[in-house]
Structure formats: C-alpha cells, structure tokens
Chain A
Amino acid sequence: MYQWDFGILWSYRWLFLNGLGVTVGFTVVIVVLGLVFGLFGAFGTLSRFKAVRLVALTFIEAFRCTPILVQLIWFYYALPILAGIDMTPITASALALSLYGGSFYSEIIRGGIISIDKGQSEAGAALGMTPGQSMRRIVLPQAIKRMIPALMNQSIIQFKNTSLVSVLAVPDLVYQSQVAAHDSYRPLETYTAVAVAYAAILIPLTIIVRRGEKRLAVGE
C-alpha cells in the first residue's frame, strides 16, 4: 500500500504559487486577447463582403479544427522559421491559445448576434440608424446578455488549456509541479495537489456561471 505524504509538498510551496501565478496571469491574457480575436472573427463572418467572410471563416475553422497541442508546438517550432521571427515560448503559446480561444469565442459571439430577431435591427434602421448604430445600441446589448454564459464556459476551458503550455517549458503550475515531482520523487502527491488546485478554482466559477444562466433564463 502506498504511503501518502502530502507534507513534503510544503517545501515547494513557492514553486507552486509561482506556477499558479503564471497560470492565472496567462489565462487573463489569453481570455482578453481571445475575446478581441473573437470579436474580429465574428464581425468578419458577418461582413457584407464575401472576401472578408471567407478569410474570417478560414481562420476560425483552422483553429477550431486542429488540436491545441499541435498548434502550440507549431507556433513555437514552425512559425518562427516560416515567418523569420524569433518567439519566446511565452509569446508563442499566448498567441496560439488566444487564437484557439478566439475561434470559439467568435462562434459564440456570432451566434449571439444572429439570435437577435431581425425586426430589432429593422426597427433601428427605420428610425434612421446606420448599421453600426443599430449594432451598438440595439443588437449587441441584447446579444451580449445571451453570450455571457457560453463565453464564461469557454473561458473556463481556456483556463484548463493553459496547462498545455508546460510542453514549451513555460513555467506554469503544471510545469512547476513537474519540477517538484522530479525533485521530490513524489509524483502522486504532486499531481493530485495540482488537480485539486485547478478544481478548487474552477468549481466556484462554474457555480457562478450556472447561477448566471438561471438568472438570464428568468429574465428572457
């Protein structure tokens, strides 16, 4: 029978905290950047111009339909050679994860926008609004309300996806725990603790999202 000894992890506490800080910071960056990409992607797919729609769709499908792990490796090893630029592992993984998340966000945003009854933008147009004005004043305020639960869920997935950056030696929580596991010869304790740490952050978040969904359902 295996003798558990979680006490040994205490001496690695700064390492774990450091890793957790990187994970959380990374999540914030890729959620914000991803939402920006997602907004561009959504409006791209809704553009009046076919060429713009095509470019946006190609990007979205390319990132939605390839595994994020492959994208991470490709952005770090292949892209610098193709583009002739040097990228740190952090830049490469931030870019890959933001674009990956952005492709999903853009589908959520697009879905939210087109779910709003066409009569709403028609009413705006009939008042003399430009398409931009009716999007900002009429459609988006209603659409955002519908998008929020799905955007939150996608962000939770993004939080978990940051664990993959450890393959590029970005010192996140998983990477630091690998260091700790090798050093202590206690991988079972280490990885169990890491799993608990992720769950401890995400479970409260999912409860908040679920509450929000219920509140929105009542408001509709």
Chain B
Amino acid sequence: MSDTSKIEIRGLRKSFGSNEVLKNISLDVAKGGVVALIGPSGSGKSTLLRCINLLVVPDGGSVRVGDTRFAFGEGTKLVDVKTLAKFRATTGMVFQHFNLFPHMTTLQNVMEGPVTVRRMAKADAEKLARAQLAKVGLAEKADQYPATLSGGQKQRVAIARALAMEPDVMLFDEATSALDPELVGEVLSVIQQLASEGMTMVIVTHEIAFAREVADRLIFMRDGVVVEEGPARQVIDNPREAATRAFLSHFHRIGALPPANAIP
C-alpha cells in the first residue's frame, strides 16, 4: 500500500444471485487522483463504484477509503448500520438520475446532509449550502424545487449536495448519461473544476473524450474483470487489448472528432 493512495480495493467479489458481477477486482486511487471507469453495460463498473461507499456490500475482498478499512467474506463481521453511515458520510456520490429530494428546495437539498448527518446548526449549514450552490453556478436557484430545474441544473445541485458533506472522495455514477446532449457540458465542467482542485474522484462514464481530458488513470472493465488499466490517454489512444479497442471504437475519443474507423 502506498502512502498516497486514498482508495484501495483488494480482491473484491460480488454476486447477485448466481450472476457474478465482480470477480476479484483490485484498484488503487492516489490522493487527488481521478480514475475513470469505462466499459459496456453489465460490466460491473457501477457495482464496483457502489462498493466503494458500500451502497452495495461486497461478498469478499476489502475496501479502504482514507484510514477506514472494511473486509468482507468468510470470517468477517457484518458492518453495523451506524458505522456504515459514518463511513459513507466521508464519500460523496452523484447518481445517474440525480435522486434529488423532490419535497425540498435546492437549498434544503444541499443543507440536508450537514444538518441531519453532521448535526450542523441551520445557519451554518445554510451558509455552506449557499456557497456550494454558488460554486456550481446555481446560487439564484436556491429557493426553487428540483422539479423546476433542467437536468443539467439538477445534476449540479446533486453535486453541490454531495460536496456539502465536505467529502474526501467523490464518486460519479454515469452522472451525464440521463442528460440531453446540450446539457452534458455544464455538468462535465463542474467535475473538471473539482479535478483541478485536487478532489479524489472515481468516475463511471461513457464520455470517453471527457475521461481522456480529466482522468489521469483509466480502467476498462468487462464481465466483472478489469481488462485493461493505465494512464487515461495511453489506454484511450493506444489500447493494448482487443476488447478495449472494440469497445472504444464506438466512441468519439478526442474532442469532437469522429473515430477514425467510423469513416466509411
């Protein structure tokens, strides 16, 4: 284990019924590192991401974020809900479908974590929440309900909500997959800004060009195993494995350029 690694995953296994979705996965994320997880649907990348904050409890292996480590499988105790909750409070997660709380204003959404989980005084939480909303460019939407926002705005509120917990690590689960194409950019630029500030992040994405720009490492998964891993640009520009090449051939890899093999 290196001193700088923020996330360390060893031998992770997970099955849903007879379907083995993660087969012995190991992964390290350096402090301030940005790792992009790519792969076809059903490859296990979302499950892997959800194992990092234990939203999905693994069947075997170990997960460490910062100084907190959990081991799973035979001979290990089930983690109790209080410990689990405390652990999750240190990681922020952003979901594909935003999952904003519809009965609260955007400000209340962002205040909810600090007030309920961190027991912060309302006035302090409001100050923090307004600062986070300003950071994602939505200060003026504080008193609106999520239903009145565009998809891109919703996702930016969701990012602000996660950031209000002042997490050590941010996890993005296909954060732009449910957005109209013209709204993707505003969310990606917020993520890019976080990366430049040194936030440790794991990003599950289909935006290959974005992953190439922002991620320093890239992991390509298929059928529950890591097929290829390396510096993001290197893997995207010169994939070693045939499976990686086949997958990447479906995407625009660099900026707005079409992939070379798509030209008839």
Task: Give residues in A with beta carbon < 8 Å to B.
Answer: 117, 119-120, 122-123, 125-131, 133, 137-138, 141-142, 145
Flag if A120 contacts B99 (CB, 8 Å): yes
Flag if B161 contacts A127 (CB, 8 Å): yes
Flag if A127 contacts B82 (CB, 8 Å): no
Assess A128 versus B113: contact at CB under 8 Å? Given A119-B95, A119-B97.
Answer: yes
| Minimum C-beta distance from A109 to chain B (A) | 17
Flag if A120 contacts B101 (CB, 8 Å): yes
Interface size, chain B (Cβ < 8 Å): 29
Flag if B85 contacts A129 (CB, 8 Å): yes
Assess A123 versus B85: contact at CB under 8 Å? Given A133-B117, A137-B112.
Answer: no
Flag if B89 contacts A127 (CB, 8 Å): yes
The majority secondary structure among interface residues of chain A is helix
A118 to chain B: closest residue by CB? B99
Which residues of chain A are within 8 angstroms of B100 by Cβ–Cβ distance?
123
23 CB contacts below 8 A, A to B, read A119-B99, A120-B101, A122-B95, A122-B99, A123-B100, A123-B158, A123-B161, A125-B55, A125-B85, A126-B88, A126-B92, A127-B116, A127-B117, A127-B165, A128-B88, A128-B118, A129-B117, A130-B85, A131-B81, A133-B85, A133-B117, A137-B112, A138-B101
Q: Convert B90-123 into 0s and 1s, putting 1 for each residue whose CB lies closer than 8 angstroms to a CB of A.
A: 1111010101111100000000110011100000
- Check: B86 CB closer than 8 A to any chain A CB: yes
Flag if B103 contacts A127 (CB, 8 Å): no
Which residues of chain A are within 8 angstroms of B90 by Cβ–Cβ distance?
128
Query: Roughly how many angstroms separate A137 CA and B116 CA in the complex, as a whole number?
Result: 8
Flag if B162 contacts A126 (CB, 8 Å): yes
